[in-house]
Amino acid sequence: MRLRTHLKIDTSLSGEVVELYEGYARLKLKTEDRMAADEMGLVHGGFIFSLADFCAMATVNEPTVVLAQANISFLKPVVVGDELLAEGRLKRQEGRKRWVQVEVRRGEEKVAEGEFLCVVPEKHVLSPQV
């Protein structure tokens, strides 16, 4: 299966798709210096969120998919140099709504997890509405 959404995203900041199936995506992200929040190398949570969000979008894999809601927990700190893997699984679908569960791991250790409510509008959210 090929990626059909978020094709212009910067994969060095939001993760690279390594597996993609119907209702499933796995992404990897190698954290780097520009993601550091402080002199100790703590990675800003926004980059972990971006990885999880992109994983949810790839799991749905519809060209117009957007995020409507997210509930994410950050469980462990991430430092520059860590390689993260995010796995997304489609849990439920109702009409245009898709609920995706995402787990982010560093090796076997879970560092973040969340549920993402994604919506698939008929056309791009920035398209003129007529």
Domains assigned to the chain: 11-119 (3.10.129.10)
Over residues 60-74, the mean pLDDT reads 98
Q: Which strand (E) or helix (H) includes residue 53?
A: helix 45-60
DSSP state of 116: E
Distance CA 27, CA 58 (A): 9
Over residues 18-23, the mean pLDDT reads 98
Over residues 97-116, the mean pLDDT reads 98
Angle in degrees, CA 101, 7, 62, rounded to 5 = 50
Distance CA 40, CA 77 (A): 11
pLDDT at 20: 98
Query: Does 72 have pLDDT greater than 80?
Result: yes
Percent of the chain at pLDDT > 90 equals 98
pLDDT at 50: 98
Q: Which whole-number Å values give the CA distances from 8 to 12, 16, 74, in the listed order?
A: 12, 12, 26
- Categorize the per-residue pLDDT at 4 as very low, low, confident or very high, splitting at 50, 70 and 90: very high
**Phi, psi for residue 82 in degrees, rounded to 5:** -65, 140
What is the pTM (predicted TM-score) of this model?
A: 0.96
Q: Which two tokens mark 129?
A: 């509405």
Q: Which two tokens mark 4?
A: 């059909």
Query: Does 130 have pLDDT greater than 80?
Result: no
Over residues 84-102, the mean pLDDT reads 98
Strands 97-106 and 83-94: antiparallel
- Categorize the per-residue pLDDT at 129 as very low, low, confident or very high, splitting at 50, 70 and 90: confident
